[in-house]
């Protein structure tokens, strides 16, 4: 039971409150406190027990009626200190109970207030002391040696280290590398408190998302930077925009990942909701991942089942299965390696033999044109010269025959003998002239081709097989070729919109002239040695041809491009020309045995020669690496990539395609779910899907 | 007979706690939804957290304005406790964790947790200690304790002199001067009193049990008077230890709070300069 001695009654204890700022110094040492205690300002009031009070009293003399004022000093010592003292105040009004002064002490409350103020001051001091460190407000300033002395210091501004990839990014300019709003001055910093800026705009000054023009213009902002997936979705015009900082939170430490994505973040926009991959992920496409048009036709089935087991080629067959050819890793995809590493062993020679005749030397319908053409090479007109020689021989023989007759009539035997000798000489001259004439007659049966080559006919815009139609143009072409080599060919190509430099790259002007003039001499051009496969420009007999130097031959690709450009054109000879360079056969069209030609009605008549490195599914990523060693024992890649059986039907109803189409079954989602399931391997969206489309770093920041 | 009073503070506290928990849950849900929408709710949660921390500081002002009719202090304490726990929840929602990576944010997080833990400790401590004070069976204002001790010391000295005078033997005088004088000089056995242990009681019992066999009948009244003063001193010492620890705890809590609020204001300035 609580004992109450009523010791705190007003007349038994001093008036004390917890909120008094000071207490008596004697009391603080557990001595007897003075009754008055310290003042609010901390001064000792215990020197005297009280402050005597002066009273005034008017006393009236009963006899005289005179009033007298009596002043007295009265003790005011409180009851709890013993009440008025016996001595009373001194005459001067001072207390007679005098004690030595004490040093009042602050109470806990007072000390608490002081400590709190000290703590506030310490925090302010710390904030100000470290404000400029580690690229604070104004950023680190490198010294004369370019060394940033502040790096590594604790900062009262920096909320945490940047991630590893951005760690050195601010080394030069400090915080304003990203926080441009406050500039690099203190006033700018203060002004930024009231100015709204977006950090994400700083991000896209370095990061771009497929817009190349942004590289050219540093101020240009990627128009798709903040669009959902950096892409336009025609079916989702309501797709919300996003800022970089919505997902990428910086200042979480060097080792922190700033690219996490949660499944819920995908579901926030995507209309197709599902719980998890293993539970309810939408089905893959009917032919996933082979829906898109391919650029290379490679019949896996035919190679695996026929060629690679053929004893004739078995030494050239790949030894390590799929990865023998699929050697290039691009974004986790295993793409086929180069032609040289995979295909050349079997297909190189055939490519070098797939030549084309660019132009041949045709028969001209008008002998005069032929003569004119031959004359351009400096040869005489062959039909006239022998006849003139014969006539001259005959003319020279006529006076001799007259002299023979006259001498025979006159019996002048010497004269007859002389005339006979002269006739013998004339006979020899005539015989010689007759030989020349005979030769000229032979030459009128020209050594030439029956028609123009399809390429020459297209370039000259004449029919290839009608000598009456093409002779004049062909003669002009040949005359010019004899004089100027390949120049008329280049002019004709230019007229058709082709790139003559590329199309005729490596063609020697002398070769053109020699072949033309051999024809002018009515002979066939004989090269010093028979052209080998892959020889490039070559000539033989009456034709100038091109043999590709190897795979990916630039000249051949240019001729194919010209053929594609004139595909479907109404120009004379265009159809035959396009047919020559595009149709599968022994010519350039042989390229399309493996490469995919654009469809005839395609808008872009361009061949995509290389396998595209850019993923056609920019938001899907599959990393083969972690899968290669966990597949079914012995099944290898075929665990997922299973070939279609002959006669099998694809999911879309198409039967097993021909050798130039894909011959694999679509990936079975169930195969993925064997591992990617609850309790198994990760199955979150970000494992297989990406958010950004074509992310890259702008060149000017590299 | 035990009389139960109607305690309206507890339902008030539970109601507040329910509201606080609901607000935390709502803001956590809102924050997560904003995160899923690739947006950011930290400005909202940050302002809520700062508001909560400032409102916690108002409790101190309420104590200073005790003369104003601002409701019972018990309600304010309940509000303070619930809002404090709410602030802890909001801190986790706001930061997404319990710690920070930057220097000043680590200092701020450290201050926050130190404040919060000191608050939780104090809450439990101030619930336990008053019962201990009640069990002592004596009431004294903390500020009066030095005077009380001084008075007891005078009382003990008078008793010792009385014993010496009554018997003519110096036993009680020596007992006081050699054994008890230091005991009466200032509060003793602080830790023992703080922990509720009986070391002080045993010490006093032992001393008086020993001296009782050495004094005569004339000295008994004086010895009884001296022992009564010593036992009163034990009660006062216990009060002193407990009340002082309560006051020191408040001082620590307030100082930590002041430092944390200072950095919170600094943080507020920084995020409005940098993080938008």
User: Do A539 and A644 have their domain in common?
Assistant: no
Q: Are B185 and A30 a contacting pair at CB < 8 A?
A: yes
pLDDT of residue A379: 62
pLDDT of residue A380: 54
The C-alpha atoms of residue A259 and residue B4 are separated, in whole angstroms, by 60
> Is residue B35 within 8 angstroms of chain A, CB to CB?
yes
Asked whether the whole model's pTM tops 0.90, one would answer no
Over residues A326-351, mean pLDDT: 83
Radius of gyration of chain A (CA): 55
pLDDT of residue B251: 95
Instruction: Look at residue A696 and give its three-state secondary structure.
Output: strand
Which residue, chain included where needed, has tokens 């019962």?
Answer: B131
Could you tell me whether strands A333-335 and A328-330 are parallel, antiparallel, or unpaired per DSSP bridges? antiparallel
User: Do A478 and A501 have their domain in common?
Assistant: yes
User: Is residue A8 predicted with pLDDT exceeding 70?
Assistant: no
Examine residue A698 and state whether it is found in any structural domain, yes or no.
no
Mutate to test the interface with B, among A26, A78, A157, A182 (most CBs of B within 10 A): A157
pLDDT of residue B87: 95
Strand partners, A296: A595
The C-alpha atoms of residue A541 and residue A518 are separated, in whole angstroms, by 9
Q: Do A171 and A151 contact (CB within 8 A), yes or no?
A: yes
Over residues B15-31, mean pLDDT: 91
Over residues B63-80, mean pLDDT: 83
Q: Do A297 and A584 contact (CB within 8 A), yes or no?
A: no
User: Do A563 and A516 have their domain in common?
Assistant: yes
User: Is residue A113 predicted with pLDDT exceeding 90?
Assistant: yes
The C-alpha atoms of residue B17 and residue A600 are separated, in whole angstroms, by 75
pLDDT of residue A2: 43
How many structural domains comprise chain A?
4
Going from the C-alpha of A392 to that of each of A379, A420, A430, A433, the distances in angstroms are 21, 18, 8, 9
Strand partners, A595: A296
Shortest CB distance from A159 goes to which of B35, B102, B262?
B102
**Mean pLDDT score of chain A:** 80
Going from the C-alpha of A519 to that of each of A373, A447, A523, B4, the distances in angstroms are 10, 7, 5, 131
User: Do A474 and A585 have their domain in common?
Assistant: yes
> Is residue A238 within 8 angstroms of chain B, CB to CB?
no
Shortest CB distance from B103 goes to which of A154, A243, A267?
A154
B266: which chain A residues are within 8 Å (Cβ-Cβ)? 123-124, 127, 156
User: Is residue A219 predicted with pLDDT exceeding 60?
Assistant: no
> Is residue B10 within 8 angstroms of chain A, CB to CB?
no
pLDDT tens-place string over residues A71-92:
889 999 988 888 999 999 999 9
> What are the DSSP calls for A331-397, one per residue?
TTEEE---HHHHTHHHHHHHHHT--EEEEE-BPPS-HHHHHHHHHTTT---TTHHHHHHHHHHHHHH
Q: Nearest residue of B to residue A153 by CA position? A: B103
The C-alpha atoms of residue A489 and residue A499 are separated, in whole angstroms, by 11
Class of residue A283 by CB neighbours under 10 A (exposed 0-12, middle 13-18, buried 19+): exposed
Q: Are A112 and B251 a contacting pair at CB < 8 A?
A: yes
pLDDT of residue B190: 95
Strand partners, A71: A56
Q: Are B146 and A181 a contacting pair at CB < 8 A?
A: no
Over residues A590-611, mean pLDDT: 85
pLDDT of residue A138: 47
Helix ranges (DSSP H) in A253-343 = 263-267, 277-280, 300-302, 322-325, 339-342
Q: Do B150 and A32 contact (CB within 8 A), yes or no?
A: yes
Q: Which residue has the higher pLDDT, B201 or A366?
A: B201
User: Do A486 and A586 have their domain in common?
Assistant: yes
- ipTM comes to 0.91
User: Do A470 and A576 have their domain in common?
Assistant: yes
Class of residue A511 by CB neighbours under 10 A (exposed 0-12, middle 13-18, buried 19+): middle
Q: Which residue has the higher pLDDT, A653 or A164?
A: A164
CA atoms in the 13 A half-sphere facing the CB of A567: 23
Examine residue A250 and state whether it is found in any structural domain, yes or no.
no
> Is residue A158 within 8 angstroms of chain B, CB to CB?
yes
Examine residue A219 and state whether it is found in any structural domain, yes or no.
no
pLDDT of residue B84: 94
Shortest CB distance from B40 goes to which of A156, A179, A245?
A245
pLDDT-based confidence at residue A273 (cuts at 50, 70, 90): confident
Question: Who's near A263: CB < 8 A, 6+ residues apart?
Answer: A276, A684, A685, A686
Q: Which residue has the higher pLDDT, A473 or A441?
A: A473
Class of residue A86 by CB neighbours under 10 A (exposed 0-12, middle 13-18, buried 19+): exposed
End-to-end distance of chain A based on CA atoms, in angstroms? 83
Shortest CB distance from B142 goes to which of A18, A31, A182?
A18
pLDDT tens-place string over residues A362-396:
876 666 666 676 677 766 555 556 566 667 777 77
User: Do A573 and A526 have their domain in common?
Assistant: yes
Instruction: Look at residue A695 and give its three-state secondary structure.
Output: strand
Q: Are B244 and A123 a contacting pair at CB < 8 A?
A: no
User: Do A586 and A618 have their domain in common?
Assistant: no
Q: Lowest mean pLDDT of A287-296, B123-132, B183-192, B196-205, name the range.
A: A287-296
User: Is residue A581 predicted with pLDDT exceeding 70?
Assistant: yes
B220-274 and B199-212 are packed helices; what angle lies between their axes, rounded to 10 degrees? 170
pLDDT of residue B2: 52
> Is residue B141 within 8 angstroms of chain A, CB to CB?
yes
pLDDT tens-place string over residues A124-179:
999 888 876 545 444 445 555 555 555 566 788 888 888 888 877 776 777 778 88
The C-alpha atoms of residue A533 and residue A551 are separated, in whole angstroms, by 12
pLDDT of residue A338: 86
User: Do A495 and A412 have their domain in common?
Assistant: no
Q: Which two tokens stand for residue A658?
A: 């021909």
Q: Are B38 and A243 a contacting pair at CB < 8 A?
A: yes
User: Do A438 and A454 have their domain in common?
Assistant: no
pLDDT-based confidence at residue A44 (cuts at 50, 70, 90): very high
The C-alpha atoms of residue A576 and residue A7 are separated, in whole angstroms, by 127
Over residues A51-57, mean pLDDT: 91
Class of residue B131 by CB neighbours under 10 A (exposed 0-12, middle 13-18, buried 19+): exposed
Domain that holds residue A648: 300-336+612-666
B263: which chain A residues are within 8 Å (Cβ-Cβ)? 123, 127
Question: Who's near A316: CB < 8 A, 6+ residues apart?
Answer: A345, A346
% of chain A exceeding 70 in pLDDT: 83
pLDDT of residue A215: 52
Q: Which residue has the higher pLDDT, A292 or A51?
A: A51
Q: Do A569 and A458 contact (CB within 8 A), yes or no?
A: no
The C-alpha atoms of residue A65 and residue A61 are separated, in whole angstroms, by 5
> Is residue A119 within 8 angstroms of chain B, CB to CB?
yes
The C-alpha atoms of residue A498 and residue A595 are separated, in whole angstroms, by 22
Of B198, B64, B79, the residue nearest B132 (C-alpha): B198
User: Do A489 and A617 have their domain in common?
Assistant: no
- What is the phi/psi pair of residue A22, to 5°? -130, 160
pLDDT of residue A633: 62
pLDDT of residue A348: 87
Query: Maximum distance among all alpha carbons in chain A?
Result: 230
Shortest CB distance from A127 goes to which of B101, B185, B266?
B266
Examine residue A92 and state whether it is found in any structural domain, yes or no.
no
Q: How far is B30 from chain A (nearest CA, A)?
A: 13
Q: Which residue has the higher pLDDT, A437 or A539?
A: A539
Q: Are A160 and B105 a contacting pair at CB < 8 A?
A: yes
User: Is residue A651 predicted with pLDDT exceeding 70?
Assistant: no
Going from the C-alpha of A67 to that of each of A54, A57, A639, the distances in angstroms are 19, 10, 130
Examine residue A541 and state whether it is found in any structural domain, yes or no.
yes
Contacts of the segment A549-555: beta carbons below 8 A, 24+ positions apart: A549/A352, A550/A348, A550/A351, A550/A352, A551/A339, A551/A340, A551/A343, A551/A344, A551/A347, A551/A348, A551/A351, A552/A339, A552/A609, A553/A351, A554/A502, A554/A505, A555/A502, A555/A503, A555/A504, A555/A505, A555/A506
Which residue, chain included where needed, has tokens 């009605």?
Answer: A601
Q: How far is B208 from chain A (nearest CA, A)?
A: 23
Q: How far is B38 from chain A (nearest CA, A)?
A: 5
pLDDT of residue A641: 85
**Mean pLDDT score of chain B:** 90
- What is the phi/psi pair of residue A495, to 5°? -60, -25
Sheet (strand A536-540) strand order: A356-360, A543-547, A536-540
pLDDT-based confidence at residue A663 (cuts at 50, 70, 90): confident
Examine residue A457 and state whether it is found in any structural domain, yes or no.
yes
pLDDT of residue A659: 40
Shortest CB distance from B138 goes to which of A3, A159, A161?
A3
Examine residue A396 and state whether it is found in any structural domain, yes or no.
yes
Question: Who's near A85: CB < 8 A, 6+ residues apart?
Answer: A49, A75, A77, A96, A97
Handedness of CA A459, A465, A469, A474 (dihedral sign): positive
Angle at A617 between CA A242 and CA A626, to 5 degrees: 100
The C-alpha atoms of residue B128 and residue B41 are separated, in whole angstroms, by 40
Examine residue A458 and state whether it is found in any structural domain, yes or no.
yes
Preceding peptide of A289 cis, ω within 30°: yes
Q: Are A179 and B144 a contacting pair at CB < 8 A?
A: no
Q: Lowest mean pLDDT of A276-285, A560-569, A639-648, B31-40, name the range.
A: A639-648
pLDDT of residue B58: 85
User: Is residue B89 predicted with pLDDT exceeding 90?
Assistant: yes
Q: Are B273 and A253 a contacting pair at CB < 8 A?
A: no
Q: How far is A201 from chain B (nearest CA, A)?
A: 11
The C-alpha atoms of residue B22 and residue B27 are separated, in whole angstroms, by 9
pLDDT of residue A648: 62
pLDDT of residue A1: 41
Shortest CB distance from B270 goes to which of A157, A246, A253?
A157
User: Do A429 and A471 have their domain in common?
Assistant: no
pLDDT tens-place string over residues A665-700:
888 898 899 889 999 899 999 888 888 887 888 765
Going from the C-alpha of A440 to that of each of A32, A370, A386, A392, the distances in angstroms are 156, 13, 7, 17
Q: Do A98 and A47 contact (CB within 8 A), yes or no?
A: yes
Of A593, A623, A643, the last residue of a domain is A593
- What is the phi/psi pair of residue A127, to 5°? -60, -40
pLDDT tens-place string over residues A481-537:
888 888 888 988 988 888 988 999 888 888 888 888 877 777 778 888 888 888 899
């Amino acid at each position: 039971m609580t004992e109450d001695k009523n010791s705190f009654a007003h007349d038994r204890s001093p008036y004390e409150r917890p909120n008094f700022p000071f207490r008596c110094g004697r009391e603080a040492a557990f001595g007897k406190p003075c009754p008055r205690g310290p003042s609010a300002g901390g001064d000792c009031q215990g020197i005297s027990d009280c402050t005597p009070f002066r009273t005034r009293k008017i006393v009236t003399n009963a006899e005289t009626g005179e009033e007298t004022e009596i002043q007295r000093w009265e003790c005011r010592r409180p009851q709890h200190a013993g009440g008025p003292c016996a001595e009373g105040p001194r005459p001067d009004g001072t207390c007679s109970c005098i004690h030595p002064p004490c040093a009042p002490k602050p109470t806990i409350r007072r000390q608490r207030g002081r400590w709190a103020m000290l703590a506030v001051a310490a925090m302010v001091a710390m904030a100000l002391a470290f404000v400029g460190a580690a690229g604070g407000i104004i950023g680190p300033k490198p010294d004369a040696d370019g060394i940033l002395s502040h790096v590594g210091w604790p900062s009262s501004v920096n909320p945490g280290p940047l991630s590893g990839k951005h760690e050195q990014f601010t080394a030069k300019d400090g915080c304003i590398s990203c926080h441009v709003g406050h500039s690099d001055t203190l006033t700018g910093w203060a002004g930024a408190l009231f100015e709204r800026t977006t950090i994400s705009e700083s991000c896209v000054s370095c990061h771009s998302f497929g817009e190349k023009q942004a590289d050219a213009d540093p101020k240009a902002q990627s128009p798709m930077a903040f669009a959902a997936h950096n892409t336009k979705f025609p079916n989702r015009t309501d797709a919300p925009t996003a800022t970089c900082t919505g997902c990428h939170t910086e200042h979480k430490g060097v080792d922190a990942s700033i690219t996490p994505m949660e499944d819920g973040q995908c579901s926030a926009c995507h209309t197709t909701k599902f719980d998890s991959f293993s539970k309810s992920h939408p089905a893959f496409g009917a032919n996933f991942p082979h829906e898109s048009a391919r650029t290379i036709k490679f019949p896996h089935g035919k190679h695996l089942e026929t060629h690679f087991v053929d004893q004739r080629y078995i030494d050239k067959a790949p030894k390590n299965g799929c990865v023998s050819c699929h050697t290039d890793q691009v974004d986790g995809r295993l793409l086929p390696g180069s032609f040289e590493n995979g295909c050349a062993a079997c297909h190189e020679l055939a490519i070098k033999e797939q030549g084309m005749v660019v132009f041949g030397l045709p028969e001209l319908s008008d002998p005069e044109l032929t003569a004119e053409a031959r004359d351009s090479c400096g040869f005489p007109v062959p039909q006239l010269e022998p006849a003139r020689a014969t006539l001259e021989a005959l003319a020279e023989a006529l006076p001799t025959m007259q002299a023979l007759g006259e001498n025979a009539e006159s019996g002048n035997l010497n004269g007859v003998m002389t005339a006979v000798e002269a006739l013998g000489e004339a006979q020899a001259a005539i015989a010689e002239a007759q030989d020349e004439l005979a030769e000229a007659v032979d030459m009128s049966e020209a050594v030439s081709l029956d028609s123009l080559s399809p390429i020459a006919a297209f370039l000259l815009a004449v029919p290839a097989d009608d000598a009456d139609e093409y002779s004049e143009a062909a003669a002009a072409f040949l005359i010019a070729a004899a004089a100027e080599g390949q120049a008329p060919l280049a002019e004709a190509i230019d007229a058709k919109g082709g790139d003559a430099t590329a199309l005729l790259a490596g063609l020697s002007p002398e070769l053109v002239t020699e072949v033309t003039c051999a024809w002018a001499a009515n002979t066939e051009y004989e090269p010093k040695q028979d052209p080998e496969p892959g020889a490039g420009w070559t000539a033989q007999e009456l034709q100038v041809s091109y043999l590709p130097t190897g795979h990916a031959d630039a000249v051949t690709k240019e001729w194919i491009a010209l053929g594609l450009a004139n595909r479907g054109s109404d120009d004379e000879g265009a159809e035959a020309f396009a047919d020559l360079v595009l149709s599968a056969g022994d010519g350039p069209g042989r390229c399309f045995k493996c490469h995919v030609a654009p469809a005839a009605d395609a808008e872009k008549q361009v061949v995509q020669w290389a396998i595209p490195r850019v993923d056609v599914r920019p938001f899907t990523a599959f990393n083969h690496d972690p899968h290669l060693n966990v597949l079914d024992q012995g099944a290898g890649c075929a665990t997922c990539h299973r070939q279609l059986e002959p006669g099998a039907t694809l999911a879309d109803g198409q039967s097993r395609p021909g050798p130039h189409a894909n011959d694999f079954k679509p990936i079975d989602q169930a195969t993925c779910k064997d591992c990617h399931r609850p309790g198994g391997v990760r199955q979150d969206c970000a494992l297989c899907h990406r958010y950004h489309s074509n992310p890259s770093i702008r060149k000017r920041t590299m | 007979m035990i009389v139960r009073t109607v305690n309206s503070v507890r339902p008030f506290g539970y109601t507040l706690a329910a509201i606080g928990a609901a607000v935390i849950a709502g803001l956590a849900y809102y924050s997560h939804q904003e995160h899923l929408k690739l947006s950011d709710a930290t400005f909202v949660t940050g302002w809520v957290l700062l508001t909560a921390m400032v409102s916690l500081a108002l409790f101190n002002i309420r104590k200073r304005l005790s003369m104003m009719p601002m409701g019972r202090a018990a309600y304010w304490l309940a509000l303070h406790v619930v809002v404090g726990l709410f602030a802890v929840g909001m801190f986790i929602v706001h930061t997404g964790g319990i710690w920070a990576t930057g220097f000043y944010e680590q200092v701020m997080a450290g201050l926050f947790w130190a404040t919060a833990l000191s608050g939780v400790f104090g809450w439990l401590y101030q619930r336990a200690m008053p019962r201990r004070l009640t069990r002592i069976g004596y009431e004294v204002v903390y500020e009066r304790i030095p005077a009380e001790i001084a008075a007891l010391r005078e009382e003990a000295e008078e008793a010792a002199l009385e014993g010496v005078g009554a018997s003519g033997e110096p036993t009680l005088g020596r007992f006081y001067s050699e054994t008890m004088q230091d005991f009466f000089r200032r509060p003793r056995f602080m830790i023992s009193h703080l922990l509720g242990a009986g070391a002080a009681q045993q010490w006093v019992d032992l001393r008086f049990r020993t001296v009782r066999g050495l004094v005569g009948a004339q000295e008994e009244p004086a010895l009884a008077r001296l022992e009564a003063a010593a036992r009163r001193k034990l009660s006062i010492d216990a009060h002193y230890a407990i009340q002082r620890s309560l006051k020191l705890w408040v001082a620590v809590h307030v100082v930590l709070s002041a430092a944390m609020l200072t950095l919170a204001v600094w943080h507020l300035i920084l995020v409005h300069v940098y993080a938008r």
